[in-house]
Structure 1
Amino acid sequence: MNINLFAKRFALVVLFAAAPTAWADTVIPSPPQLAAKSYVLMDAASSQVLIDNNGDERLPPASLTKLMTAYIATLEINRGHIKESDLVTVSEHAWRTGGSRMFIQVNTQVSVGDLLHGIIIQSGNDASVALAEHIAGSEDAFADLMNTTAQRLGMTNSHFMNATGLPHPEHYSSAHDMAKLARAIIYEDPAHYAIYAQKEFFWNNIKQPNRNLLLWRDSTVDGLKTGHTEEAGYCLVASALREGSRMITAVFGTHSEQSRAAETQKLLTYGFRFFESRTFYKKGVELAKSRVWKGASDEVQAGLAEDLTVTLPRGQLDKLEASMTLNPQLIAPIQQGDVIGRVDIKSGEQVVSSTGLIALQAVEEGGLFRQLWDSIRLFIYGLFN
């Protein structure tokens, strides 16, 4: 066995060729200026923020809060902790909660599935509190779940005090954080995400429309949620899918229901018109094998923890090259998920995106003889290199 062959650094370069005419720079106009306090435009596949205006400013989110309430509920359903058919007894606290309502009645029983629809489509504060109490025992305990979940999603500018978004000085979020949450909702649970596209919901002999006006104006829009209080203004988190590409917008603090829809539409139009994405590698797929020393196995598969997707102005993706580099000397034990190399996406000498290559499986330590033999070989190799 040739030690040099296994010990040297592994590198693979994949070039994405293009016709010469495709290399001309695309002219990208300045992004639209919105009549809003804060807003972001995010490409959903890559999670790259394409427009950011005060996107990390902490602001009252109003009923955008219910995105987190609904997200946690769907997590609990998918984990098997609750079922959509479970009946929830409506407490007096839930029934008395002010603001927008689903119009559930105190001491009646409503299914988890109906409450979820009432939260997403009707923006029911009563439904939000009832479901929060069912999941966590109290709304305060549920707020702790919300904050723990926000930390996991990297929502560093969010803190929740209730399940509804009713004003509280310590209850806040940001446009960027809400875009992150929307992305999780869309990709982690497509079945429940379909609820966000429903235009109306009928409950207690009352039919209420979804307040997201873009569902009527733009057939590519399929979610997510509106919000409004006097302090927050009119807010909207929206997403649209066109020709396989998805954009997410979060707009805080416009002056009317019509304005939040119109300003959001500007962001979507700009994003789809001037940007495109490409997925270079999919998560969990073997991209290379690397030599392992002193292990029960002499090699490990390398891949990615998440899809590697890049978003750039139209016409620029064909200029990119991808390179993979594995660490030159891997010694067992290696845990699944350990970073063992790197993938770089470059445009010329500029690194556009970089992420770690991870071990796709664990490699335990080998036996005593294997460890001793590999130690000798590594020592000899070190003498001559």
Structure 2
Amino acid sequence: MHKNIRLTLLSVALFSAVPYVSAEQATSTVTHTKTHKTVHHTAQTKHATASKKAEVKKTVHHTPHKTAHATAHHAIARAKPVAHAVVADQPQIASGSAMVVDLADGKVLYASHPDRVRPIASLTKLMTAMVVLDAHQPLNDMLSVDISHTPEMRGVFSRVKLNSEISRRNMLLLALMSSENRAAASLAAHYPGGYDAFIRAMNAKARALGMTHTHYVEPTGLSPSNVSTARDLSKLVMASRQYPLIGELSTTREDEAQFSHPNYSLPFRNTNHLIFRDNWDIQLTKTGYTDKAGHCLVMRTVINKRPVALVVLDAFGKYTHFADASRIRTWLETGKASPVPAAALAYKQEKTTDMASNEPVQSGE
């Protein structure tokens, strides 16, 4: 009980607005925790670093712009792994890893442990939706709710009744908008060639997109064996531009689903709180959570009038992934960033230690 109260209070603190500080102030806070020797060395090299930054800025200014989708995909695929240490002048985040990529030119705008392989929970459902749409089956076909091929679904609560029916399009809506696990499992069960063929298609699609550190074993994300990286998921978000229906369904705020056999209706709501905020232009989104994956978020959105893929993985509080997304956006737009509360960083370290033990997944969406 005390741990749950602590997590709730921490989550609210992370999501609340906090005063902005400059990138230099944030850097100073981080540097203060290092040894006296490091601080002294930083002071000695400050002037030289400033000169180098001026030279880099001049060089970037004269770099010709590259072209569209093919160049962007190539740039992400060829990008060198980012060092595990967070770059000094970018904001610190509470989440385990994150990445923001400009979809127009493939430039990496922010990266924190982008190549760290992690369980991705219900972010899996974006690939599930792509594979469904690649099969070109009629969207108005009525499908029965069938989870018999997905053992990860055993014991997982859902309001959706087994064997009831709804259209394939609405199955996609429920899987993407509200992360309904039974909908995702049912979509795989009704795939041409069957469930196993569906899983093979998911992994084949990942390979085709250059997602070299991604692997799927089931369509919902409940299994911790569904893994990826922030960099790989940026490639998936880029590919999502070829699937406008996924963008439409995933950004639907709320809807009421009508089922038959038996007849009943259920209200559903989007799992991304930022969808309900008018100051975000979100064109595609998916959230995810399991005990092992933490809270996860991907979005195709607009920052500084540029189309971007934003990925946040392994967040340790109910609202941490949303707070980190806002923190990164503010930094990209203003050069300022709100600090991460010390309690959040301490909890992050504690959770990292806890993850070393192989505890079973207890819950998820």
TM-score normalized with structure 1 length: 0.58
Q: Which of 147, 151, 164 matches 2:207? A: 151
More helix as a share of residues: 2
Distance 2:128 2:91 in 1: 31
Q: Measured at CA, do residues 149 and 88 of structure 1 come closer, stay the same or move farther in structure 2, by a change above 3 Å?
A: same
Q: Which residue of 1 aligns with 2:265?
A: 205
Q: Which residue of 2 aligns with 1:259?
A: 320
Structure 1 segments of 4+ aligned residues over 4 angstroms from their partners: 22-26, 98-102
Query: Is 1:110 matched up with 2:166?
Result: yes
Deviation at residue 101 of structure 1 after TM alignment: 6.7
For each residue in 1:121-150, what CA deviation from the matched residue of structure 2 results, as whole angstroms up to 9, or x when unmatched?
110110001101112444332111100000
SS at match of 1:148: helix
SS at match of 1:267: helix
Contact 1:55–1:176 (CA under 8 A) maintained in structure 2? yes
Q: Which has the larger radius of gyration?
A: 1
Aligned pairs, how many? 246
Query: Is 1:82 matched up with 2:142?
Result: no
SS at match of 1:167: coil
Contact 2:304–2:332 (CA under 8 A) maintained in structure 1? no
Deviation at residue 56 of structure 1 after TM alignment: 1.2
The higher-RCO structure (CA 8 Å, 6+ apart) is: 2
Q: Which residue of 2 aligns with 1:382?
A: none
1:190-201 mapped onto 2 (5 Å cutoff)? 190-201=244-255
Counterpart residue identity of residue 235, structure 1: C
For each residue in 1:303-344, what CA deviation from the matched residue of structure 2 results, as whole angstroms up to 9, or x when unmatched?
xxxxxxxxxxxxxxxxxxxxxxxxxxxxxxxxxxxxxxxxxx
Deviation at residue 25 of structure 1 after TM alignment: 8.6
Deviation at residue 193 of structure 1 after TM alignment: 1.4
Contact 1:41–1:249 (CA under 8 A) maintained in structure 2? yes
For each residue in 1:176-209, what CA deviation from the matched residue of structure 2 results, as whole angstroms up to 9, or x when unmatched?
1111101111x21224412222111322432221
Q: Which of 53, 73, 97 matches 1:38? A: 97
Counterpart residue identity of residue 31, structure 1: Q
Q: Which residue of 1 aligns with 2:25?
A: none
Q: Measured at CA, do residues 32 and 242 of structure 1 come closer, stay the same or move farther in structure 2, by a change above 3 Å?
A: closer
Contact 1:87–1:111 (CA under 8 A) maintained in structure 2? yes
Counterpart residue identity of residue 211, structure 1: T
Q: Percent identity?
A: 29
Query: Is 1:73 matched up with 2:127?
Result: no
SS at match of 2:119: coil
Q: Measured at CA, do residues 92 and 192 of structure 1 come closer, stay the same or move farther in structure 2, by a change above 3 Å?
A: closer
Deviation at residue 43 of structure 1 after TM alignment: 0.8
Q: Which residue of 1 aligns with 2:186?
A: 130
Counterpart residue identity of residue 238, structure 1: M
Counterpart residue identity of residue 140, structure 1: D
Q: Measured at CA, do residues 198 and 92 of structure 1 come closer, stay the same or move farther in structure 2, by a change above 3 Å?
A: closer
Distance 1:248 1:200 in 2: 23
More strand as a share of residues: 1
Q: Which residue of 1 aligns with 2:218?
A: 162
Distance 1:100 1:181 in 2: 27
Distance 1:44 1:25 in 2: 18
Q: Which residue of 1 aligns with 2:302?
A: 241
Q: Which residue of 2 aligns with 1:176?
A: 231
Q: Measured at CA, do residues 23 and 177 of structure 1 come closer, stay the same or move farther in structure 2, by a change above 3 Å?
A: closer
Q: Which of 224, 227, 236 matches 2:288? A: 227
More moved, 128-137 vs 241-250: 241-250
Contact 1:238–1:250 (CA under 8 A) maintained in structure 2? yes
Q: Measured at CA, do residues 165 and 24 of structure 1 come closer, stay the same or move farther in structure 2, by a change above 3 Å?
A: closer
Contact 2:254–2:269 (CA under 8 A) maintained in structure 1? yes
Deviation at residue 99 of structure 1 after TM alignment: 7.6
Counterpart residue identity of residue 268, structure 2: Q
Distance 1:122 1:99 in 2: 19
In structure 1, the gaps of 5 or more residues are 1-21, 275-385
Q: Which residue of 2 aligns with 1:141?
A: 197
Deviation at residue 173 of structure 1 after TM alignment: 0.9
Q: Which residue of 1 aligns with 2:106?
A: 47
Q: Measured at CA, do residues 93 and 259 of structure 1 come closer, stay the same or move farther in structure 2, by a change above 3 Å?
A: same
SS at match of 2:118: coil
SS at match of 1:93: coil
SS at match of 1:198: coil
Contact 2:147–2:189 (CA under 8 A) maintained in structure 1? no
More moved, 62-71 vs 190-199: 190-199
Distance 2:163 2:119 in 1: 31
Counterpart residue identity of residue 145, structure 2: V
Distance 1:94 1:65 in 2: 17
Contact 2:122–2:222 (CA under 8 A) maintained in structure 1? yes
For each residue in 1:191-232, what CA deviation from the matched residue of structure 2 results, as whole angstroms up to 9, or x when unmatched?
441222211132243222111111123332233100000111
SS at match of 1:184: helix
Distance 1:254 1:92 in 2: 28
Distance 2:310 2:270 in 1: 18
